[in-house]
A and B are shown apart, each in its own frame.
Chain A
């Protein structure tokens, strides 16, 4: 059992939890993820590592309710436990293995969308701790959905926050901020790391391709085991088929086939929708709603 030491609601449908997981906290790196399973009957859910404390053996996760399982997970409180918590999985962000002096010469731009702010945070924090200040763009639909803004401010070089509806700081999509920084202000970046909804990563990648700015994205496809066994997470990168769980989750954004990846993410949408209804309505759910047969 893996004890929850803190559970906090960050924004509508977005939750943060500190979980005791010594082995993972000892070995994890920015860019990696974990798989959590609530109880005997739960799904294995891949989740972002948002932060880690090696001394205390704690992993911080952030997740958004997207289906029945995450909805159930959001009901967990401080003092509850996950039955299973596995990781760290996937490859660490490439820069963590680079020569530090070389890395210091690079100017990095991070683009975080919505709950994607959580996996961006440990990367920017790692760089900050190694004396590198990276610029960060954080985007959300509206002010209430922004997360970790204060924490990000502590570790980022320049922080640019934008909301789709203009309810906080800038108004507009993250792509407009990139255009502003690169084209209007003439800032030079060597690499961009974009993490957020698939559609955001697609449009950031299309833009940065035009701008000839190398871009890394972090994918979150459907997975079962997370160790390379099932192949559910396969994604086309350039001319190759990769498994996001072991080859990724980070890939060259200019090579990822986002349209295929987005279609694959929908694979269980109907099944998931059905499970949500069942959870909410319990035995009172007898169909006839038009959503399930």
Chain B
């Protein structure tokens, strides 16, 4: 395959007009030939900067070399040493600001498509039934992991490899956390990608008990005192949705992005044959500019709606990944930037009929370093709508912190934990991921899960 060494081997995608009407995966991934061509662009740097950009420090030049040589199984094995969820990370990591952001190739041309290569190796391994092996013996020490999202799964996987008897407690009826309830099918296929990753974890000997709400069904104290768990990792995420507090927000047709996405992703409301309903909407506004907002907008679009993203700053400040914004635009999402809702307009039956908004301009930088949006007086206008989806971020659920003696939280209700080992204020209890940092990314949660596993291993080895 001929290729311009300065440019990435393009990855095949579904055409925007086609994919805007289905829930199939947008990106189709590399085939062997494309992957090897892309891998051959890699300079295999000795002191590879990409590795320092990866939160879980995957040996990136190492696995890329193996792909180039056609040893995909070995490439997968190298990635698996550091990551429990390669097929997921290859799809949803913000590579542009991590590994690919540091790639030396990127100085002059385009960086190596590290994410797409990782995905290729992981997909190949799954298609060829390669999976991690269970350790021969366990050390008999029981560890509980709360939550089966990215941090919990990573922590559980690392501990199982070290010989611990790990049980994950999941509140919902399916394991996977945000990977199943939050990220849509068209970005992260559930049956094809998430489920096999969870099954790989179970092959390592990890047990998963679903439908257990820690803080309600049982408590951390009970797990430790009555059920014999010697350490606990809390990876319960940041699940509580925020609302704006503007008039009309409780009208019918106003949803949190969490609700909208959960109905579609976890409950499969978009598919025939599932019982959970969803209000598809014909004209939808999604308020917010993060990845979750893009996911909600693109879901509503696929359900047949005209969709507007309403965001109070400008395009430059959109917190969503560039790739997601690009995909959303291609599919026909309308961006109403520098616009902020002030009131949701409600009809006589209690349903949304529109939204009053105000135009904004950017002023001086605020605490986040981004220029603060300021209202332009007299610029109010109305958008006609039947559905509004609020995607303003989420905060940690207090169910666990409020029911665990001696577990300290900060003013944002995040659990206080050491970044290096996940240690909390309570002995034997470790935490990481969104429950500690507030809403962030899959890979940062995985990094925290790794740190927690290390912390627990040190703690139980010295106990």
Residues in chain A within 8 A of chain B (CB atoms): 23-24, 26-27, 37, 41-44, 68-69, 72, 83-89, 224-225, 227-232, 234-236, 241, 246, 260, 263-264, 266-268, 271-272, 275
> Of B173, B252, B255, which one neighbours A44 at CB under 8 angstroms?
B173
Question: Measured between C-beta atoms, what is the minimum distance from B443 to chain A in Å?
Answer: 22
List residues of B (264-279) whose CB comes within 8 Å of A's CBs: 267-268, 273-279
B243 beta carbon closer than 8 Å to chain A: yes
> Of A42, A83, A224, which one neighbours B263 at CB under 8 angstroms?
A224
Q: Contact check, B350 vs A260: say whether CB atoms are below 8 A apart.
A: yes
B362 beta carbon closer than 8 Å to chain A: no
> Of A72, A228, A264, which one neighbours B239 at CB under 8 angstroms?
A228
Residues in chain B within 8 A of chain A (CB atoms): 171-173, 181, 210-213, 216-218, 239-241, 243, 245, 249-250, 252-253, 255-256, 258-259, 262-263, 267-268, 273-279, 349-350, 397, 399
A266 to B351 alpha-carbon distance, docked (Å): 10
Q: Contact check, B399 vs A263: say whether CB atoms are below 8 A apart.
A: no
Q: Contact check, A224 vs B213: say whether CB atoms are below 8 A apart.
A: no
Q: Contact check, B262 vs A84: say whether CB atoms are below 8 A apart.
A: no
Classify the secondary structure of A's interface with B.
mixed
Question: Measured between C-beta atoms, what is the minimum distance from A178 to chain B in Å?
Answer: 29
> Which of B217, B253, B258, B275 counts the most chain A CB atoms within 10 A?
B275
**A41-B273 in contact given A86-B211, A86-B213, A264-B350 (Cβ < 8 Å):** yes
Residues of A close to B278: CB separation below 8 A: 271
> Of B253, B279, B350, B399, which one neighbours A246 at CB under 8 angstroms?
B399
A263 to B253 alpha-carbon distance, docked (Å): 11
Residues of A close to B212: CB separation below 8 A: 23, 86
Question: Measured between C-beta atoms, what is the minimum distance from B23 to chain A in Å?
Answer: 16
Question: Measured between C-beta atoms, what is the minimum distance from B438 to chain A in Å?
Answer: 15
Nearest chain B residue, comparing its CB with the CB of A22: B217
**Can you name 17 A-B residue pairings with CB atoms under 8 Å?**
A23-B212, A23-B217, A24-B217, A42-B275, A86-B171, A86-B172, A88-B216, A225-B171, A228-B399, A229-B262, A231-B241, A231-B243, A232-B256, A232-B259, A234-B250, A263-B349, A271-B277
Nearest chain B residue, comparing its CB with the CB of A279: B275
Question: Measured between C-beta atoms, what is the minimum distance from B349 to chain A in Å?
Answer: 7
Nearest chain A residue, comparing its CB with the CB of B219: A27
A68 to B275 alpha-carbon distance, docked (Å): 8
Residues of A close to B252: CB separation below 8 A: 263-264, 266-267
Q: Contact check, A225 vs B276: say whether CB atoms are below 8 A apart.
A: no
Q: Contact check, A88 vs B217: say whether CB atoms are below 8 A apart.
A: yes
Residues of B close to A88: CB separation below 8 A: 216-217
A19 to B316 alpha-carbon distance, docked (Å): 54
Nearest chain A residue, comparing its CB with the CB of B268: A41
**A241-B263 in contact given A27-B218, A37-B173, A275-B277 (Cβ < 8 Å):** no
A266 to B213 alpha-carbon distance, docked (Å): 28
Q: Contact check, A44 vs B250: say whether CB atoms are below 8 A apart.
A: no
Residues of A close to B268: CB separation below 8 A: 41
If A86-B171, A224-B262, A264-B250 are given as contacts, then 18 extra A-B residue pairs at C-beta distance below 8 Å, sorted by A number, are A43-B275, A69-B275, A85-B211, A86-B173, A87-B216, A87-B217, A225-B262, A228-B240, A228-B397, A229-B262, A231-B256, A232-B259, A234-B243, A236-B250, A241-B245, A260-B250, A272-B277, A275-B275
Residues of B close to A264: CB separation below 8 A: 250, 252, 350
Classify the secondary structure of B's interface with A.
loop
> Which of B210, B250, B256 counts the most chain A CB atoms within 10 A?
B250
Nearest chain B residue, comparing its CB with the CB of A267: B252
Q: Contact check, B217 vs A224: say whether CB atoms are below 8 A apart.
A: no
Residues of B close to A246: CB separation below 8 A: 399
Nearest chain B residue, comparing its CB with the CB of A37: B173
Residues of A close to B173: CB separation below 8 A: 37, 44, 83-84, 86
Question: Measured between C-beta atoms, what is the minimum distance from A34 to chain B in Å?
Answer: 10
> Of A232, A241, A275, which one neighbours B255 at CB under 8 angstroms?
A232
A170 to B278 alpha-carbon distance, docked (Å): 43
Residues of B close to A24: CB separation below 8 A: 217
Q: Contact check, A227 vs B275: say whether CB atoms are below 8 A apart.
A: no
Q: Contact check, B273 vs A230: say whether CB atoms are below 8 A apart.
A: no
Q: Contact check, A230 vs B217: say whether CB atoms are below 8 A apart.
A: no
A99 to B399 alpha-carbon distance, docked (Å): 24
Q: Contact check, A230 vs B213: say whether CB atoms are below 8 A apart.
A: no
> Of A26, A224, A227, A267, which one neighbours B267 at CB under 8 angstroms?
A224
> Of A89, A230, A266, which one neighbours B216 at CB under 8 angstroms?
A89
Q: Contact check, A229 vs B350: say whether CB atoms are below 8 A apart.
A: no
Residues of A close to B250: CB separation below 8 A: 234-236, 241, 260, 264
Question: Measured between C-beta atoms, what is the minimum distance from A257 to chain B in Å?
Answer: 8
Question: Measured between C-beta atoms, what is the minimum distance from B127 to chain A in Å?
Answer: 25
Residues of A close to B255: CB separation below 8 A: 231-232
Q: Contact check, A227 vs B171: say whether CB atoms are below 8 A apart.
A: yes
Nearest chain A residue, comparing its CB with the CB of B242: A231
Residues of B close to A275: CB separation below 8 A: 275, 277
A184 to B93 alpha-carbon distance, docked (Å): 70
Q: Contact check, B350 vs A230: say whether CB atoms are below 8 A apart.
A: no
Residues of B close to A41: CB separation below 8 A: 268, 273-275
Question: Measured between C-beta atoms, what is the minimum distance from B292 to chain A in Å?
Answer: 13
Nearest chain A residue, comparing its CB with the CB of B245: A241
A43 to B273 alpha-carbon distance, docked (Å): 11
Residues of A close to B171: CB separation below 8 A: 86, 225, 227
Q: Contact check, A89 vs B243: say whether CB atoms are below 8 A apart.
A: no
Residues of A close to B253: CB separation below 8 A: 267
> Of B241, B273, B275, B279, which one neighbours A229 at CB under 8 angstroms?
B241
Q: Contact check, A241 vs B259: say whether CB atoms are below 8 A apart.
A: no
Residues of B close to A266: CB separation below 8 A: 252, 350
Residues of B close to A26: CB separation below 8 A: 218
Q: Contact check, B350 vs A263: say whether CB atoms are below 8 A apart.
A: yes
Question: Measured between C-beta atoms, what is the minimum distance from B248 to chain A in Å?
Answer: 11
Question: Measured between C-beta atoms, what is the minimum distance from A244 to chain B in Å?
Answer: 12
Question: Measured between C-beta atoms, what is the minimum distance from A17 to chain B in Å?
Answer: 17
Question: Measured between C-beta atoms, what is the minimum distance from A202 to chain B in Å?
Answer: 15
Residues of A close to B349: CB separation below 8 A: 263
Residues of A close to B276: CB separation below 8 A: 43-44, 224
A241 to B213 alpha-carbon distance, docked (Å): 23
Question: Measured between C-beta atoms, what is the minimum distance from B31 to chain A in Å?
Answer: 33
Question: Measured between C-beta atoms, what is the minimum distance from B52 to chain A in Å?
Answer: 35
**A229-B258 in contact given A85-B211, A266-B252 (Cβ < 8 Å):** yes
Question: Measured between C-beta atoms, what is the minimum distance from B275 to chain A in Å?
Answer: 5
**A227-B277 in contact given A84-B173, A84-B211, A263-B252 (Cβ < 8 Å):** no
Question: Measured between C-beta atoms, what is the minimum distance from A148 to chain B in Å?
Answer: 25
Q: Contact check, A27 vs B275: say whether CB atoms are below 8 A apart.
A: no
Q: Contact check, B258 vs A267: say whether CB atoms are below 8 A apart.
A: no
